[in-house]
Structure 1
């Protein structure tokens, strides 16, 4: 594993269906896990608190995952501490979380307790107006993403009609046989997003791949049809061979279309490359042991695609314009949200945050001692 950058993934994304949350992945499906849920409004210090906690454990948790906010990657929505079997997350909308087993598996940190409501009363009209405007903007942004998906789906269908599935599946099987060593049992899967659509555009956390892998296979696919099927086949073969995988879905098709696949134990990643996935920061990196490139055209009937050239080009441009309009609306919301944070920030008393941090750190240590039956240095 490289140490060039922290491990960062999104666990949610704006999509044509609205906000899609995969915060069900916080505990790795382990019943011994404990998750801290932070409750509190904007500007209540949730992200800053998680950053401080991450700093405390950065040298004691090499596998730590930082989960940036998909709407504002400079903020954190969660931090996962695998070695400690602990997570901490912003449990407010749009990824609202409630304890299933209070005290046993989850604890609530209520940062709203440090807010003086009398100090925000004078801003009532402004707060309500911001809330109404952001709601309207978000609804329009989602409509734009739905329109973009419609255009891309049309291109996807055209590409599928030109695809040779037998050739693709045979290649995936051969590739897996050569590169995925057989291990006992079935592999485990984590679901993540490596990119998200927000006020900055289509934001990629591709540097995470450099942290986990030194062998990257770029799959060049303008239409995303062959790459998704190829990655789906690789995923199945890897899991059957006992290899753990991190499956990264497309924000526009967050439940069905795989954009990227990572096999951390093998230090191997498969990344879809096209105009909607800027991977320029990874290509030809000297820190990588090897790079491979697979072109989707090897599985496609190019003559068939050429007959749809104008339509495919139109779909690409129209989808890009719809995404750009969604980004514009989301950028307006980001500015409004920043104003809202400033209002709440001025009403917060952060003097008790050090005590809360100390308490969470102590609990994490106690949980590990109770679980492992030994003291920690």
Structure 2
């Protein structure tokens, strides 16, 4: 595996099921040395704080995961310092997090201690109004994302009929033979870590695949909207787990139950899917085209329907993205009611204290 100390991903997403969180997989409680939970408000410097910690620890040689916000991909919702088993998370809505084992694992960082409450109260009416509008816009976006998923399912049903399942099964068996050749089961079940490599954001479709697929073996599966590549990933994941390998599963930004990318660290291997909405520039060891497994005659008969589905899908997604973009504009305005009343110098002092604690943890290892 090549050196890759900085990895980027999303712990939650704007999906057809609403806001969907995989926060519990950032760092499971039983594996953690410390989880810092930040409580604060918009514009109170949570992301800025985490970025300072993350970049400083990265500069010291630690492996760091940057967990981005799906409602603003330039902001962070969490960081993980892998070598220290220390995480820091934004614990405010919509991803409300409360300490599960306070004092043992969890520690609250109260950013309310750094603000001037009287100054913020002057904008009470504006804060309430913008907060309501943000909720309305996200509700609208999620409705359209749900509609987009329904259209996606229409195309998926056509591809399911066109798919030659014999060819698919032979392909999967061949991939299993290649990936697991010479390996033996550990006798213990593997564990899956679930997250998102991509997200539906105000900036459009954003993915961080290039930071995740720096591995010795990368199989890239090319497909179309709903062309069935998930079955390959699920079969390979299940085989890896049965053999005792831990895996990282990265799920679809639209349908958070659908496996889209799979990493098996113990095999230095990844299986990724590529389509119009997400692709990566990492060189693939092998490329598989799902269209090679399809009945071309059936697809030709339904070509106009598939094209219409794509056109309608893109239109519905455009409306959803527009609503998410508007929600961010309102959120940016909301931040302006807090920023002037924050004591960022005191916050920076807190940041230095935590860095000192992390340095001590590092020296203990």
Shift of 1:32: 4.3
For 1:372, the equivalent position in structure 2 comes to: none
Shift of 1:251: 1.6
For 1:312, the equivalent position in structure 2 comes to: 306
2:272 paired with 1:271? yes
Provide the secondary structure at the position in 2 that maps to 1:277: coil
Contact 2:73 2:203 in 1 (8 A): no
Which of 164, 187, 192 matches 1:189?
Answer: 192
Shift of 1:253: 1.2
Shift of 1:192: 1.3
For residues 185-264 of structure 1, what are the structure 2 equivalents within 5 Å? Answer: 185-210=188-213, 212-255=214-257, 257-264=258-265
Q: Which is further off, 154-163 or 93-102?
A: 154-163
For residues 67-216 of structure 1, what are the structure 2 equivalents within 5 Å? Answer: 67-181=67-181, 182-183=183-184, 184=186, 185-210=188-213, 212-216=214-218
Determine the C-alpha separation between the residues in 2 that align with 1:27 and 1:215.
26
Determine the C-alpha separation between the residues in 1 that align with 2:270 and 2:62.
19
Determine the C-alpha separation between the residues in 1 that align with 2:115 and 2:190.
46
Shift of 1:268: 2.4
Shift of 1:137: 1.1
Contact 2:6 2:58 in 1 (8 A): no
What's the TM-score, normalizing by structure 2?
A: 0.93
Structure 1 segments unaligned to the other structure (5+ residues): 370-374
Q: Summarize the Cα distance change of 1:2–1:343 in structure 2 as closer, same or farther, 3 Å threshold.
A: farther
Shift of 1:246: 1.3
Shift of 1:61: 5.1
Determine the C-alpha separation between the residues in 2 that align with 1:54 and 1:221.
36
Q: Summarize the Cα distance change of 1:165–1:28 in structure 2 as closer, same or farther, 3 Å threshold.
A: farther
Q: Give per-residue Cα distances to partners, 1:288-315, cap 9 Å, x unaligned.
A: 4x53210112322222222221111111
How big is the alpha-carbon RMSD for the aligned residues of Structure 1 and Structure 2? 2.0
Contact 1:173 1:237 in 2 (8 A): no
Structure 2 segments unaligned to the other structure (5+ residues): none
Contact 2:224 2:275 in 1 (8 A): yes
What's the TM-score, normalizing by structure 1?
A: 0.90
Provide the secondary structure at the position in 2 that maps to 1:359: helix
